[in-house]
Structure 1
């Protein structure tokens, strides 16, 4: 009897170790992405930024385009990132952007011109849009108009990316699957439409828990399954900024890096078999570097 008890305990121990190792492996194999909004960092703090990205095993950086920064600075940063196996996407966006907005068209034109004048190891690997139309008043006063304007932005950017032969990605909130769409582009929910019309999406699943009815895994399950059926990629994003005590559940600012790593390992483990799972995105470089 004693031998049986000891053997059973040993089996439980081995199973537990295996479970921990599986989660560790899932986390180790996970790709990480991040946003670099403060573009001046590629000029004033390039070496330290690249070192941090490399230490965190970041595979994709979404770099906001600041046209006041010289083109040669972008070329140098991307070249050094490429050496480290990091892909750089051209990033920009604003809630009020429409298909004819001057800042939007300037962004696309800048990227197009840049790509034609850069060497292979200096070019952007994709275009990444962060347009959040729900932050405008039109979203509540004229929802259908706001959605249509947003869709036209997505399609315009997708066409530009396609002409350049690079992927096109967009940030969406997890609740886009609750927003209905019915217009000349079809009907359904907004999440489905965006996933259909991009190469990849980043879901802003800003929560500080992986598990539970309001956890990261549950909030992204629909999109993960849908993207798998459409052969599209999904990156799941989390927040590290200080959003204040009332919104503390939206960010890992209070919990810090260790807790965030534990929760993200659970997310990676839950989705490791999904063909649609491209990894985790951490918002953003500055607050991630400062995270306790």
Structure 2
């Protein structure tokens, strides 16, 4: 059947046909979004270590579908070693690296150095007993001394101790031949490092191999606004930053997490955040807190 001779309609038809020939079939926005989101370099935390005893397949299947490349797995002595070996080997088979995770607010204090030593010793013994495909490929620490009462009483003293313990961790990770990364709040550029003219954020970035910034907000532009100072500092230091996002409920307000907005909206914002972040050479990707929270958010999205 031939088209009636309506000039505007014919022009529209031939433009559409030409576009398909040149660019290929037209994809729906949801398809474009899914393909683009899968390409975003992502990392996530797994604090609920006991889950690897019974839900390894579920955890890793979901992670692979979300494009997760790194899982920060908390070390728990209550979980037997074979479960770690099984989880890590299956993760590696999917192209997912697993980093040993631990930390606490009081890890910033010299009096608790023994806790850091125990963590490092556990990793060392584990690595020696594990096959190559069962080994951790990095170390990740979460030390937040601003949660301590000592931070309010004598901030400078806590900062000095924190720096000392970070240096210790960096030296020990070097002996293990493993890169080490740390979680940092976004506001450390407001503080000065001890015995240095550097901002505390620059000092920390300079010591760790990479940093995950807890730039928790519920929009890409707000996240980048919190992270841009550290992204610039990391660029000057030739280091890398992961911008962090939150999926769990936050008592600090709805603006902190994607918990209220949901899974689809979060993925739209992650795509936009990735596009904005790529303007900075130091941008390494997005870290989603955390794996269980992300799975819960996705399940809430199901009809």
Q: TM-score band, normalised by the shorter chain?
A: 0.7 to 0.9
1:76 equivalenced with 2:86 (yes/no): yes
Shift of 1:93: 0.4
Name 1:252's counterpart in structure 2.
258
Shift of 1:290: 0.6
1:93-127: CA deviation from partner (whole Å, max 9, x where unpaired): 00011345232221111011111221111111101
When Rg is computed on C-alpha atoms for both structures, the one with the higher figure is 2
Stretch of structure 1 that moved more, 221-230 or 250-259: 221-230
Distance 2:240 2:219 in 1: 22
Stretch of structure 1 that moved more, 274-283 or 82-91: 274-283
Distance 1:138 1:83 in 2: 44
List gaps (5 residues or longer) in structure 2.
1-6, 20-25
**SS, match of residue 49 in structure 1:** helix
List gaps (5 residues or longer) in structure 1.
none
Distance 1:273 1:25 in 2: 21
Name 1:228's counterpart in structure 2.
235
Distance 1:240 1:25 in 2: 21
Of 198, 205, 211, 1:195 maps to 205
1:151 equivalenced with 2:163 (yes/no): yes
Name 2:286's counterpart in structure 1.
280
- Asked if the contact 2:104–2:142 (Cα under 8 Å) also holds between the matched residues in 1, the reply is yes
Of 139, 142, 153, 2:151 maps to 139
Of 116, 140, 160, 1:128 maps to 140
Q: CA RMSD in A?
A: 2.3
Change in 2 beyond 3 A, CA 1:25/1:194: farther
1:178-231: CA deviation from partner (whole Å, max 9, x where unpaired): 112232xx22211100000010000001100122xxx11111111112212221
TM-score, with structure 1 as normaliser: 0.88
- Asked if the contact 2:160–2:194 (Cα under 8 Å) also holds between the matched residues in 1, the reply is no
